[in-house]
Amino acid sequence: MRKLRPAPLCRSWLFLEGANEAILQSAAASGADVLIHELEDFTPPPLRPRARALAAELYAAWRDQGVVVAVRVNPLDQDGMDDLAAVMRGHPDIVALPKVAEPHHVARLDEAVTRFERDYGIAEGSTSLLPNIEFARGLVQTGAIAAASRRTIGCLMASEDLAADLGAERGSDGLELAYVRQRFIVECRAANVVAVDCPYTWSDVAGVERDTIWARRLGYTAKSLVDPAHAAIVNGVLTPSDDELQQAARIVAAFEAARAQGLGRVELDGSLLEVPTYSNAKRLIARSEALRAIDHNVRA
């Protein structure tokens, strides 16, 4: 039995058209860590019954290929309850909820998921939740939303709906969402949940790489995407490189040598290394080791 990738080690979260069987069946080949069966915006209402019918067999196939299985249902006051009644039979690892603007939206989802777990003989509490923040109202309450359920393992920030709610003009440089992305990761980090960055919704390779590098600099370790071709790029950027690991090892060695001599800090390559830099270097090395271990287990 393959080991499930923990949420903090999931880098790429790929949204997929809920009723497009060809795309769904080939999605695992993208290399994305999380595949999201998208029943909301990517699935027109007439196609939702077909999308729901695919869930159980599809999720089993995805799980056999070593990916984390997620589904995004519709808001619960729309088609969400019908979605859950069908897709929970497939025991998704994560249920994502769009348009979350209040903590009670997550509390209601928790109650519904708990009920379906009991009805379908699924281990209670085994399904995680991923609230999607798509409005200004939700952004300023991200901390409370994240705390509304013990099932919540992360929050995901939308791009198009949030920009529309702000009345912002979209551009491939993402400047209009710069503050939103900075605030969102602070809110998630304070709530101790994974912050999943918004998708890059243009097709160019250079752009998604640039956008992911900027997200990583802010502290993101996870990013959503809407194009399977972007998965390898996102994974590459969000995985420590050999050069980064070598530099981190140099920082650790220099700082520990300085401490052994009774010094509080040391200069390396013109930079004064203090405890936070040392701690970050150790975290980067530990994350790299964890990613390599889980990648090995997933492939085994």
> 271 falls in which pLDDT band (50, 70, 90)?
confident
Residue 215: strand, helix, or coil: helix
122 C-beta neighbours (distance < 10 Å), count: 18
d(CA 84, CA 159): 25
How far apart (Å, rounded) are the C-alpha atoms in residues 28 and 26?
A: 6
169-225 per-position pLDDT tens digit: 999 999 999 999 999 999 999 999 999 999 999 999 999 999 999 999 999 999 999
pLDDT over 50 at 280, yes or no: yes
For 49, 162, 180, the CA distances from 81, given in Å and listed in that order, are 12, 24, 30
pTM for this entry: 0.94
Give the chain's length.
Answer: 300
The Cα–Cα gap between 293 and 244 comes to 18
DSSP classification of residue 300: -
pLDDT tens digits, 21-71: 999 999 999 999 999 999 999 999 999 999 999 999 999 999 999 999 999
| Local confidence band at 300 (pLDDT 50, 70, 90 cut-offs) | low
122: tokens are 């699924």
Which residue in the block uniquely carries the two structure tokens 């959503």? Answer: 224
* For residue 121, pLDDT beyond 50: yes
Say if residue 2's pLDDT is above 60.
no
